[in-house]
């Protein structure tokens, strides 16, 4: 079988044969399709990148129809069950799981970077008491760029790795400080000897009324949640990371862009919305009415549906299990029963079945976070901490990929043809109003 595809242009009768690699044709080949020699050539139109591969990647594999997610070839369920977050972070960044020596070095390298400048603390103190923690995270990640001018040398592989370690080391500190800031609590310095998730919990809850939540079962649950959130191939925020990074902006600025994209309610902000939705539904007898509203297009069932998964999100399955372990320590969060009933009803309803809408990672994660004493505002931050690893792996892959250039889509212009300025603008004096504006 020949790996080509032949297209006939019915406007001209011309035929074009294009190579097919990985079931994909190159969009640039379409440019050969022209109606005249001076024609620009054909483009593909794909708002929201529904069917466009923007890169080749070796990091994450998803089969959305079968509900498969793998990092570097390993199933997410195996990684979540048998590995720690730092081990999986190493795998995603380096391509292989660490041997014991590599793991020791990796942990030591991350620990070195677990600290932030006093100025950053002062910078964070400047936020209002009710600032959204994602706003604080995004701004502080961008502000870090001003501390590390060496990060601008993005093509230097040593600099790349240095920045990766810095960001993975520092992001939980920024997240925890944002949390404590909003509570009016003093900042707790990291305790690098603790595990990654444990240390984060220490910075959140030490010397606070929630100190009892520094529990090994919860630390492991958080570690598992972190593993599940590390990467998810070319999602909205990863695409933002790659788009900003493609201009050779430094990784602190690029990751601030990625975190900003994550903050939206259709992406990482969905876990916050799920909790608000469950609060609004209130009790199981209100579910049918809520579902009716979804079907009438009044609101969405948040935490359901996914661009890629048209089957159960494998992360949601693991999170559901983890939730039960957390409740053993914290007591049952009643919202899990509400969510499970909502899921049961939705998965038997033709509206959801026919559209292949299943629970995604955000449907249950917020319920665990809430049981851990965290408010919905913090949920997306908890997503951003581990996703930083994925963003950085994708950024590094982008920078080192010779096929990549600055990301710059085309458009189909549908505006006016050339127009002449009205005489009043061409020759007239500026109006009083516009003069007042410039004064």
Catalytic residues: 267, 306, 362
Residue nearer to ligand ACO on the CB measure, 164 or 270: 270
Residue 152: count of CB within 10 angstroms of its CB: 15
| Least distance (Å) between residue 300 CB and ligand ACO | 4
Residue nearer to ligand ACO on the CB measure, 107 or 171: 171
Residue nearer to ligand ACO on the CB measure, 190 or 303: 303
Residue nearer to ligand ACO on the CB measure, 33 or 294: 294
Burial (CB count within 10 angstroms: exposed 0-12, middle 13-18, buried 19+), residue 82: exposed
Q: How far apart are the first and last CA of the chain?
A: 71
Task: Tell me which residue has tokens 């961008």.
Answer: 142
The residue from 266, 276, 324, 401 that contacts ligand ACO (CB under 6 A) is: 266
- Contact 256/395 with Cβ under 8 angstroms? no
Residue nearer to ligand ACO on the CB measure, 95 or 265: 265
293-332 residues in contact with ligand ACO (CB under 6 A) are 294, 300-307
| Least distance (Å) between residue 233 CB and ligand ACO | 12
Nearest residue to the partner ligand ACO, using Cβ: 305
* Bridge partners, residue 69, by sequence: 62
| Least distance (Å) between residue 325 CB and ligand ACO | 22
- Contact 250/386 with Cβ under 8 angstroms? no
How far apart, in whole angstroms, are the C-alpha atoms of residue 264 and residue 258? 11
DSSP per position, 277-294: HHHHH-SGGGHHHHHHHH
**Dihedral, CA atoms, 86, 87, 90, 96, nearest 10 degrees?**
-170
Number of residues binding to ligand ACO, judged by CB under 6 A: 19
* Bridge partners, residue 60, by sequence: 71
- Contact 200/289 with Cβ under 8 angstroms? no
330-389 residues in contact with ligand ACO (CB under 6 A) are 355, 357, 360-362
Q: Alpha helix (H) ranges present in 113-215? A: 118-125, 133-144, 157-183, 196-205
| Least distance (Å) between residue 380 CB and ligand ACO | 10
| Least distance (Å) between residue 46 CB and ligand ACO | 13
- Contact 138/239 with Cβ under 8 angstroms? no
The yes or no reply on residue 230 touching ligand ACO (CB under 6 A) is no
How far apart, in whole angstroms, are the C-alpha atoms of residue 374 and residue 213? 11
Task: Tell me which residue has tokens 């502080």.
Answer: 140
The residue from 267, 317, 321, 332 that contacts ligand ACO (CB under 6 A) is: 267
Is the alpha carbon torsion for 61, 65, 67, 68 positive or negative? Answer: negative
Residue nearer to ligand ACO on the CB measure, 203 or 361: 361
How far apart, in whole angstroms, are the C-alpha atoms of residue 230 and residue 90? 11
76-95 residues in contact with ligand ACO (CB under 6 A) are none
- Contact 399/160 with Cβ under 8 angstroms? yes
| Least distance (Å) between residue 49 CB and ligand ACO | 11
Residue nearer to ligand ACO on the CB measure, 190 or 268: 268
The residue from 218, 270, 277, 389 that contacts ligand ACO (CB under 6 A) is: 270
| Least distance (Å) between residue 342 CB and ligand ACO | 11
154-213 residues in contact with ligand ACO (CB under 6 A) are none
Which residues would be at the binding site for ligand ACO (CB under 6 A)? 235, 266-268, 270, 294, 300-307, 355, 357, 360-362
């Amino acid at each position: 079988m020949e790996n080509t595809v032949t297209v006939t242009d019915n406007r001209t009768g011309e035929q074009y044969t294009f190579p097919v690699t990985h079931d994909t044709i190159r969009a640039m080949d379409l440019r050969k399709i022209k109606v005249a020699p001076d024609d620009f050539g054909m483009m593909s139109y794909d708002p929201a990148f529904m069917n466009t591969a923007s890169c080749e990647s070796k990091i994450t594999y998803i089969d959305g129809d079968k509900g498969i997610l793998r990092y570097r070839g390993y199933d997410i369920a195996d990684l979540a069950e048998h590995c720690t977050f730092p081990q999986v972070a190493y795998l995603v960044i380096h391509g292989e799981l660490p041997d014991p020596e590599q793991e020791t070095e990796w942990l030591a390298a991350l620990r070195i970077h677990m600290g932030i400048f006093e100025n950053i603390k002062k910078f964070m103190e400047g936020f209002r008491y009710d600032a959204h923690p994602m706003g604080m995270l995004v701004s502080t990640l961008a502000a870090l760029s001003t501390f590390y001018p060496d990060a601008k040398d993005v093509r230097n592989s040593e600099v790349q790795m240095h920045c990766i370690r810095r960001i993975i080391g520092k992001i939980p500190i920024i997240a925890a400080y944002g949390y404590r800031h909003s509570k009016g609590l003093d900042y707790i310095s990291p305790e690098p000897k603790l595990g990654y998730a444990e240390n984060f919990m220490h910075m959140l809850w030490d010397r606070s009324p929630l100190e009892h939540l520094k529990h090994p079962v919860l630390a492991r649950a958080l570690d598992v949640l972190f593993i599940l959130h590390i990467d998810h191939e070319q999602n909205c925020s990863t695409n933002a990371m790659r788009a900003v990074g493609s201009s050779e902006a430094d990784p602190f600025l690029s990751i601030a862009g990625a975190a900003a994209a994550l903050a939206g309610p259709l992406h990482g902000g969905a876990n916050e919305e799920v909790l608000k939705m469950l609060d609004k539904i209130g009790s199981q007898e209100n579910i049918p009415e809520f579902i009716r509203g979804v079907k009438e297009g009044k609101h969405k069932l948040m935490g359901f549906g996914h661009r890629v998964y048209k089957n159960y999100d494998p992360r949601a399955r693991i999170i559901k299990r983890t939730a039960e372990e957390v409740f053993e320590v914290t007591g049952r969060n009643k919202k899990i029963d509400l969510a499970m009933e909502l899921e049961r009803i939705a998965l038997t309803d033709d509206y959801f079945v026919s559209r292949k809408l299943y629970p995604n990672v955000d449907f249950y994660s917020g319920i665990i976070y809430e049981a851990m004493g965290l408010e919905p505002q913090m949920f997306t931050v908890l997503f951003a901490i581990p996703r930083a690893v994925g963003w950085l792996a994708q950024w590094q892959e982008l920078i080192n990929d010779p096929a990549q250039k600055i990301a710059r889509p085309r458009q189909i212009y549908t505006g006016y043809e050339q127009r002449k300025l009205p005489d009043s603008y061409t020759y007239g004096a500026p109006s009083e109003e516009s003069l007042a504006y410039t004064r």
